[in-house]
Amino acid sequence: MSISIDITRPLPGAAFGAKVRLAMSPATGRPDALPQALADNGGLLLIPGLNEIKRDPALLVRLSRLFGPEVEDYRHLPTGRRMVHETQPEIFLVTNTVPGSRPPPARPEPPLTADGKLPVQYPHRKGWHTDQSYRRPPPDISLFYAAVPVDRARGQTLFASGILAYEALPARLKAKVETLQGLHAQPGTGRGRNDALAGRTPRPFAAHESSQLQPVVRTHPVTGQCALYLCEYGQMDWFEGPFVGMQPGPHGDGAALLDELMVHYTRPEFVYVHEWTEGDVLVWDNRCLIHAATWYDAENDQRLMWRTTVRGNPGSIYAGERKSWIPQEAATA
Ligand SMILES: [Fe+2]
């Protein structure tokens, strides 16, 4: 698949990212034009106007393959087929409609900042994460297609740049996180901060569900840039973590450091707010960005988004590792 691109940068109101217009041009295009643009623009691309994906869902998968060798097949998820596109098993459905029926995140309290803006900064805004960080090796890139977005001013997706946040870290914090490791937990395994705060006992989990260590500072395998790599409430392990070698639990010194880092990471100058238009595709690099979904009115709004996940180049620290989330017996069968 050869592509020519026109790039506008940066994205409005953001210090990173780029808008890209595509032309399929087998004669002059290059298959690496898009991945190169992603690397050159801080890990975020907006490709508007791809409404043809609705008629040709395989186009989203073909685009995804430009970014890496392995596009996840979601057929084997424990949630089953109801979250997966009926003809393209590489497309995960993020929707409040049947049969996906996933509710939107809660509205921040208060819903707007003191100056009337959409809250983006932690902890006013919660839900910041990087996709599947509870897996080793973690995925590289996600693509998200707006099949049926909700009206603008609701249902946005927020992105924060781990590269900009890392560069701006005070020296004291940079030294603290240099070799620090975070313990990332799969949502739903009962290891989140709210589970710990409520005093629940986490259920025992199988080896392939276990929380996974990740460096707090990741070196990007393509650009060589350092980026903060962190999540918060639901996707860190708040029983044994959030950090190795620090006091665990929601009241420990690890929790205090995570709060301080997340407040810094999500400062408005490191954030881009995407208001969706039907036909938009966003491509983001999970190795150097975090993102968060925002509230919409699930009673009155219908939202249908399609996601793919690309893996295959996590960096040399993961070299030779087996996939942590595949049960051993399945891996050897
Ligand atoms: Fe996500």
Beta bridge partners of 158: 273, 292
SS3 196: helix
From the CA of 164, how far away is ligand 1's center (Å)? Answer: 20
Which of 46-76 are b and which e, b meaning 16 or more Cβ less than 10 Å from the residue's Cβ?
bbbebeebbeebebbbebbebbbeebbebee
From the CA of 101, how far away is ligand 1's center (Å)? Answer: 16
The two three-digit tokens of residue 100, written as one number: 């996906």
Q: How far apart are CA 165 and CA 271, in angstroms?
A: 10
From the CA of 124, how far away is ligand 1's center (Å)? Answer: 18
From the CA of 333, how far away is ligand 1's center (Å)? Answer: 31
pLDDT in tens, 279-291: 999 999 999 999 9
Dump the DSSP string for 185-213: --TTSS-SHHHHHTTPPPPP--GGGS-EE
From the CA of 127, how far away is ligand 1's center (Å)? Answer: 9
Q: How far apart are CA 31 and CA 24, in angstroms?
A: 10
Position 100 scores a pLDDT of: 76
From the CA of 292, how far away is ligand 1's center (Å)? Answer: 7
From the CA of 142, how far away is ligand 1's center (Å)? Answer: 8
Radius of gyration in angstroms for the set of CA atoms belonging to the chain, rounded to a whole number = 19
Q: Greatest CA span in the chain, whole angstroms? A: 62
CA-to-CA separations, 226 to 41, 141, 168, 312, in angstroms, rounded: 14, 17, 12, 19
From the CA of 291, how far away is ligand 1's center (Å)? Answer: 6
Residue 305: pLDDT above 90?
A: yes
pLDDT in tens, 227-261: 999 999 899 999 999 999 999 999 999 999 999 99
pTM over 0.85: yes
Backbone angles phi, psi at 146, to 5 degrees: -90, 95
Residue 331: pLDDT above 70?
A: no
* Residue 233: half-sphere exposure toward Cβ, Cα within 13 Å: 13
Phi-psi region of 171 (alpha: psi -120 to 50; beta: other; left: phi over 0): alpha
Q: How far apart are CA 325 and CA 206, in angstroms?
A: 10
From the CA of 197, how far away is ligand 1's center (Å)? Answer: 23
From the CA of 28, how far away is ligand 1's center (Å)? Answer: 34
pLDDT in tens, 144-184: 999 999 998 999 999 999 999 999 999 999 999 999 999 99
